[in-house]
Structure 1
Amino acid sequence: MQLSASHLVLRAKQLEIELMRHLAGRVELADVTGQLIHALQHERGASSLYLASGGQRFAVERRSAMEQAGAVELSLQALFGEQQDPARGASTRMLSLMATALLELDALTAFRARIERGQASPDEAVATFSRLIAGLMELIFQLADAPLQPDISRLLVAFFHLVQGKEAAGQERAVGAQLFASGVCSEVGQQRIIDLIDGQERSLQVFEAFAEPALRQLWQQQQLAPQVARLERLRRTLCSAKSGATLDSLVSDSWFEVTSERISELWQLQMQLVQCLRQACEQQIRSAEQDLLDSEGLLQLWLDNPPPQPPAVERLFQSDDLNPPAGTGTATARPALADWLQAQSERLASMEVELEAARRVMQERKVIERAKGALMSRLGLSEEAAYRALQKASMDHNRRLIDVAQATLSLPELVFGAKPGSHQN
């Protein structure tokens, strides 16, 4: 069978529809992964307080959270099975992250039994759940970090950073609750709270930049609520106290309540953002299907009424060449096809601009994460200390954080000097 241009054009549109359906599947995977993160965050908080109280408190909340997480785990495993096909866009990295998540979830079963017996510490519980959540976060990042349709890409970038901000809020709840419950302020705990607040602000700023205007407005309205002022007062209490100072342990419940309200608000935003993603996918699929019908009609009109002689490609868009001899029937066919081709070209150009903005945000995150890892390895820093070092270098050198991160990877000695204890000849 001879290959025709019309066949290729129609096949391209069919592939676009298939891609959008695969994207819809990715949105569902991101949604369920986000649901599991939310359930594990709840279980992490309840488990750490259950252990801190010697099993006297939060037993019911912990059980409820475990049941919720277990139900979502089953849904996620089913989606993992569907997404492993390379035709759906599965990559080596995605499959590796899925495998790691399954192994971590299997190990969580034994750890939950240890919590039940009181054989784990609150800090160990927070670390174990946080490690699992971090792996699931990386999976969402991989889902968002792909050359997709711009509307979907933009919303997935917003989704990832919203979930990332909510995770920082969840860790802040756990660390602050432990500080208040201990009755003593520690410098390490204070710095951890400061880092988590900073992390939330960074993530939620990106969320605002890429979210739909309605969601952005809702988030801004939430910042004016009374509980936000309560949270800020409690934060100041923690962050301004001297190391070793006495803290009112009874405030632990108030802290847990107000930080939980913040997490609930972020969760409501997350669910609405998922709805925006679903609607965007459905709209794009309907639009692509209509384009397919339109292109079939335009191409058929062109083929049924061919021009007297093949025009040069550049003449397709010249209006003075679109006046065929009377009776040929091409007066409407050629302008219609030309308009359609031009519209497609303009749409693709616009898509590329929007995609580039999403790609840039995700690429900068990769570079900064790599720079943090390099400093952690080279200087023996914690993740938070490595990020603070990058921030300080950014301010000291009056350069963007991404520029400092890139310089750290290429010329670390010029940015941070030699590794402590090393000697130069």
Structure 2
Amino acid sequence: MQQSVSDLVLRARQLEREALEHLAQRIALADVIGQLIHALQHERGATSIYLASGGERFASVRQEAAQAIGPITATLQALCGAQQVPANGASAQMLSLMAWVLLDLDMLEELRPQMAQRTLTAHDAVAAFSRVIAGLVELTFEVADTHLHPDISRLLVGFFHLVQGKEAAGQERAVGAQLFASGSCSEAQQLRITHLIDAQERSLQVFEEFAEPPLRAQWQHSQLTPQLVLLERLRRTLCTARHGGPLEQSLSEAWFEVCSERITGLWQLQEALVQCLRQTCARLIAVAEQDLLDSEGLLRRLRDNPPPHTHAVQRFFDPTVRPGTAPVLPLRGEATQDQGTGMEASTVSGLMELVHTQSERLAGMELELDTARRAMQERKVIERAKGALMSRLGLSEEVAYRALQKASMDHNRRLVDVAHATLSLPDCFFQTPTSNAPVAR
């Protein structure tokens, strides 16, 4: 019996090590997917300006960006091919997503001549690129969907939200570039910009919560740069322009540059996070290999760490404690009958899950427009507060915005709440006290 237990424990640890090795392969795959997304985002932004300007701007930039896609796509194809080996443990969903992504990349290649000849609109080009990238983002999620270790899981949550936030920033760059290059604004595009700003803030807030301290500090520092102030100014130009009104076309290049700097910063964070994932995975593999050399230690840990459900059962039969509800595991797929419907419990559970998911999606669709409008109103409040600081204290726009940001981080409050508080202060609060004026205590 002792030998049989040892064999089982060792085999369990071997499987854990193999799972970590598969994860290391997936991290490499996620890294290449990230590189391809980054390259496609660059091509999308340049193509948007090229088409919206009638081919007058960014022709060479678009062409160079398109040429950079080929080698990365070839690497992705090779890695996807390796995932077909059963030993690598790829799921059916992952393989299906890989097939869809490769197919859509081929379709995008067929569209590039139309982009070069300007027979495709800027809007349709942005939509085509965004569709391909959406598939790659979903594939990233499938690749990163693992629950091996808390350290890995935490990093993967941060990684996926960083990827999502970066893609929202990339879409914002493309839509804004299209508007500036075309010289005209529309309500639908303004709402898209607002939606994308809101999506970035939500995704990057989750990333910040799950990021390691050095990456969190790097991200927070990037929020106080002059480039972000310029980005806010250009965002305000887009979001407050009259519908159908003119936009200064020459701003398209400034917009592309400042958005690209922000996206490059997010890319650097993503690369650093991938490196952190690689190091964590390597450390866990080394620990697993060391454990395999210590069979006695594995058995000892097995005895000291019984399954969680056994604790509940032990408490239930503890003679010193008043017994509560009988401890039962909520098993999925349990073939028991539901008393109300006569259906199997697993069927009821599956249906309830489906209804709940669909309800959440419908609620999200109903709230989308309200969220965008609320975000636009919040941005107007921030602009008013910034203007108040500029006029009351004689600050420049950049310094005023940094003051609001600093107060937001120092007091752990949303930027819009700080803006509301700033606007609620009376004018006398900002006046420099004279020798005859009483000093507030």
Partner residue, 1:38: 38
Partner residue, 2:400: none
**Which amino acid is the alignment partner of residue 15 of structure 1?**
L
Partner residue, 2:182: 182
C-alpha contact 2:37 2:133 (8 A) present in aligned 1: yes
Partner residue, 2:417: none
CA displacement, residues 337-365 of structure 1 (integer Å, 9 cap, x when unaligned): 6467437979xx9xxxxxxxxxxxxxxxx
Change (3 A) 1:345 1:338: farther
Residue 164 of structure 1: how far off its partner (Å): 0.7
C-alpha contact 1:181 1:249 (8 A) present in aligned 2: yes
Q: C-alpha separation between the residues in 1 aligned to 2:357 and 2:274?
A: 26
Q: C-alpha separation between the residues in 2 aligned to 1:375 and 1:111?
A: 35
Q: C-alpha separation between the residues in 2 aligned to 1:175 and 1:16?
A: 45
The alignment partner of 1:4 has SS state of: helix
Q: C-alpha separation between the residues in 2 aligned to 1:169 and 1:368?
A: 30
Partner residue, 1:387: 368
**Which amino acid is the alignment partner of residue 172 of structure 2?**
E
User: Share of identical aligned residues, percent?
Assistant: 59
C-alpha contact 1:372 1:387 (8 A) present in aligned 2: no
What are the equivalent positions in structure 2 for 1:26-105 lying under 5 Å apart? 26-105=26-105
Change (3 A) 1:291 1:206: same
Unmatched 5+ residue regions in structure 1? 300-336, 350-365, 377-382, 394-425
The alignment partner of 1:224 has SS state of: coil
CA displacement, residues 393-420 of structure 1 (integer Å, 9 cap, x when unaligned): 9xxxxxxxxxxxxxxxxxxxxxxxxxxx
Q: C-alpha separation between the residues in 2 aligned to 1:83 and 1:343?
A: 34
CA displacement, residues 144-194 of structure 1 (integer Å, 9 cap, x when unaligned): 233332222211221111111111101111111122222233211111111
What are the equivalent positions in structure 2 for 1:6-405 lying under 5 Å apart? 6-294=6-294, 296=295, 298=297, 338=300, 341-342=303-304, 374=362, 387-388=368-369
Q: C-alpha separation between the residues in 1 aligned to 2:186 and 2:373?
A: 23
C-alpha contact 2:162 2:203 (8 A) present in aligned 1: yes
**Which amino acid is the alignment partner of residue 304 of structure 2?**
Q
* Pairwise CA RMSD: 2.8
Residue 84 of structure 1: how far off its partner (Å): 2.2
Partner residue, 1:357: none
Residue 391 of structure 1: how far off its partner (Å): 8.7
Partner residue, 2:387: none
C-alpha contact 1:184 1:247 (8 A) present in aligned 2: yes
Q: Which moved more, 1:236-245 or 1:157-166?
A: 236-245
Partner residue, 1:317: none
CA displacement, residues 3-55 of structure 1 (integer Å, 9 cap, x when unaligned): 61111111111111111000101111111111111111111111222222333
CA displacement, residues 274-330 of structure 1 (integer Å, 9 cap, x when unaligned): 100110111110111111112x3547xxxxxxxxxxxxxxxxxxxxxxxxxxxxxxx
Q: Which moved more, 1:94-103 or 1:366-375?
A: 366-375
Q: C-alpha separation between the residues in 1 aligned to 2:195 and 2:371?
A: 13
C-alpha contact 1:172 1:196 (8 A) present in aligned 2: yes
Residue 252 of structure 1: how far off its partner (Å): 1.6
Change (3 A) 1:215 1:49: same
Q: C-alpha separation between the residues in 2 aligned to 1:83 and 1:196?
A: 33
The alignment partner of 1:90 has SS state of: coil
**Which amino acid is the alignment partner of residue 110 of structure 1?**
E
Partner residue, 2:336: none
C-alpha contact 1:372 1:386 (8 A) present in aligned 2: no
Residue 224 of structure 1: how far off its partner (Å): 0.8
**Which amino acid is the alignment partner of residue 36 of structure 2?**
L
CA displacement, residues 354-388 of structure 1 (integer Å, 9 cap, x when unaligned): xxxxxxxxxxxx99985575479xxxxxx6x7634
Change (3 A) 1:184 1:118: closer
C-alpha contact 1:185 1:245 (8 A) present in aligned 2: yes
Q: C-alpha separation between the residues in 1 aligned to 2:55 and 2:249?
A: 18
Q: C-alpha separation between the residues in 1 aligned to 2:216 and 2:119?
A: 44
Q: C-alpha separation between the residues in 2 aligned to 1:139 and 1:96?
A: 9
C-alpha contact 2:27 2:144 (8 A) present in aligned 1: no
Q: C-alpha separation between the residues in 2 aligned to 1:232 and 1:390?
A: 19
Residue 100 of structure 1: how far off its partner (Å): 0.5
Q: C-alpha separation between the residues in 2 aligned to 1:242 and 1:118?
A: 28
Q: TM-score, normalised by structure 1?
A: 0.72
Unmatched 5+ residue regions in structure 2? 312-353, 375-441
Q: Which moved more, 1:126-135 or 1:90-99?
A: 90-99
CA displacement, residues 87-125 of structure 1 (integer Å, 9 cap, x when unaligned): 323112111111101110111121112112222111111
CA displacement, residues 166-225 of structure 1 (integer Å, 9 cap, x when unaligned): 111011111111222222332111111110000000110111111111111110010011
Residue 60 of structure 1: how far off its partner (Å): 2.0
Change (3 A) 1:371 1:97: farther
Q: C-alpha separation between the residues in 1 aligned to 2:85 and 2:359?
A: 33
